[in-house]
A and B are shown apart, each in its own frame.
Chain A
Amino acid sequence: MNHKKTAALFILTGLITMVLGLVFGVVGGFQYILPDFLKEQLTFQTTRPLHVYLVISFIFSSAVGCVYYFLPGVAGRKLYSPWLAFMHWLCHSAIIVVVITGFFCGHFSGREYLEFPPVMALVILGSWSLLIVNFFKTMPIRFHHQPVYVWSWATGIIFFFITVTEAHLWVLPYFHNNIIRDLTVQWKALGSMVGSWNMLVYGTTFYVMERITNDKTIAQSKTAFFFYFLSLTNLMFNWGHHTYIVPASPVVKEVSYIISMTELLFIGKIIYTWRQTYIAARLNYSLIPYRLFTAGDFWVFLNLILAIIISVPAVNLYTHGTHITVAHAMGTTIGINTNLLLGCVLFVAFDRSPEFANRYKKYFMIGIPLLNMSLLVFWAALLICGVIKSSDTLNSVPFATMMTHLQPWFVMFTGAGVCIMISLFLILFPLIRIFLKKSD
């Protein structure tokens, strides 16, 4: 089994989980606007974890697939153990099947994002260890000479292990029986876990950009490393803005607020290099992965502005617990992660089977703009829902009445969700066919 075949299996797994995740996401959307829709057969308490787990699986499967695909080329030597990589894929796929089956049978841990029973975490950590061994045994020992994307991959791989462990500290009574400790640690672990998958996604995107532009100096530049360390600091300490209303020590909030404001530097960089980005986007517009990266850049800009605004305590007071938080989560996972990851996966697809991939170019050309336009409507609908919920909460409007006020915007949000699913299907199904075919 060579490493490229295993990488393709990971990517294929990611694409299939994304298709399923989108279907359950749309079913969940319809349960918002039609309260009795599948209320007894498939309740929202099942569709939501299915959707969340499957789309997160897409992010990890595809990102890990890309890392396996590119790693030997970056390291300049063969993958340490293709057999371990294949075993990793086998365990990874088995975990997905077991978790989904468990959800259908009603086995939950009741924890946000990681709703599978805690014993599965042990299996996930065991399977992830195979990647850790393969990654660090493949990379040369003199790590500090490596480009920034290798640092990002290493950070993402290590921190995923740490944060999955931390997210399951609740099994110990010391954490479980103190609600404030439990909630704070839960937010801490989840916030950093999102940072860990961002590291994998951004690292892969950086590498693909290097291949497209053929410029190896950027990944070794001081600016690249400055922003890497700034991202790492945010990964470690930025999570606290979710806990402003949790009565933990106020220092947690102060640290988080200060760290959140460092995100202004990212915005400053985007604005400062806007002209260069625009010129590069026009030059490379014919390349399909580049189109997705440009769209990802646009969403980085929008979501950074939103993240900074909702991190200000005086604003957070009104926005926390409203759909504005969901808009931020969806803007980052679909707008940034999905655009960037699909760009990387398309790059791999064109690398493996250029002629076969070219046959589906027209589907990608329609899917990409449709995805981003639908997402903009989806995002706006969530922001409006958030503003209405905040206003109704201030006026002590009963929950049932609040839901009636929100109904038209739920319809808009579900309609946009259906369009997102269709646009992504236009990209995902051709990609599945490409990865099912043997490489050229």
Chain B
Amino acid sequence: MRKVPVFLTLIIIYIAYSGWVYTAATGTVAVMNEKETAGKELFEVHNCESCHQLFGLGGYLGPELTTIISDRNRGPLYAAALLKTGGGRMPDFHFTDAEIEALLAYLGYVDRCATTYKTASANRLP
């Protein structure tokens, strides 16, 4: 077996594929504005993904948040109330009103991007 040529071929394909994933394959959605970025940073520094998932990435102790804003049973007011005081298993993070607004803006952005997520949910058998 010609090991070195096989290895090098795979490496070249991997580099080309990575370049495509970094650009064209993921370039179809709008980028975040300043407020949404601030919300994302809060989501990160408080390690929210330990308990919550976005697009299935994250922990399982809390609910999935990908479509929490457009969800008829939850929505932005429900999310804001939980962010304000905590509740159940969720600790109170003592977020300020501006921080809550930023987090809601970020979750709203995620929700707007979740086009295939919503299609997938609709395609599941009832």
Contact = CB atoms under 8 A, between A and B. Distances in A.
A236 interface: yes
Contacts of B117: 245-247
A126 interface: no
Interface residues of A, number: 68
B22 A181 contact: yes
A111 B113 contact: no
Interface in A144-192: 144, 151, 166, 169, 175-181, 183-188
A146 B37 CA distance: 49
A143 B8 CA distance: 13
Contacts of A35: 88-89
Given A45-B46, A48-B50, A151-B3, A179 B32 contact: yes
Contacts of A225: 1, 3
Contacts of B47: 45-46, 49, 108, 110, 115
Contact of B28 (A43, A151, A169, A247): A247
A249 to B, nearest CB: 4
Contacts of B51: 44-45, 48
A137 B56 CA distance: 42
Nearest to B2: A144
Nearest to B43: A110
A243 B54 CA distance: 11
Contacts, number: 159
Contact of B26 (A109, A184, A325, A396): A184
A249 B44 CA distance: 26
Contacts of B77: none
Interface in B76-109: 88-89, 91, 109
Contacts of B48: 45, 110
Contact of B14 (A236, A248, A252): A236
A215 interface: no
A321 interface: yes
A400 interface: yes
B73 A185 contact: no
Nearest to A385: B60
B18 interface: yes
A32 interface: yes
A193 to B, nearest CB: 14
Nearest to A255: B17
A72 B43 CA distance: 47
Interface string A111-123: 1100100000000
B1 A242 contact: no
Given A44-B89, A179-B109, A179-B110, A242 B57 contact: yes
Nearest to A406: B60
Given A45-B47, A225-B3, A176 B40 contact: yes
A395 B64 CA distance: 15
Given A180-B28, A236-B10, A247 B21 contact: no
A325 B56 contact: yes
A169 to B, nearest CB: 8
Interface in A93-112: 108-112
B49 A180 contact: no
Contacts of A45: 46-48, 50-51, 91
Interface string B29-65: 1011000010010011111111101111111111110
Contacts of B26: 178, 180-181, 184-185, 248-249
Contact of A394 (B22, B50, B73, B124): B124
A44 B48 CA distance: 10
Given A179-B29, A323-B60, 12 more contacts: A110-B43, A112-B49, A115-B47, A178-B31, A188-B18, A229-B6, A246-B117, A252-B25, A255-B17, A317-B123, A320-B56, A393-B124
Q: Which 6 A-B pairs have the closest CB atoms?
A: A110-B44, A321-B56, A181-B26, A249-B25, A399-B63, A108-B47
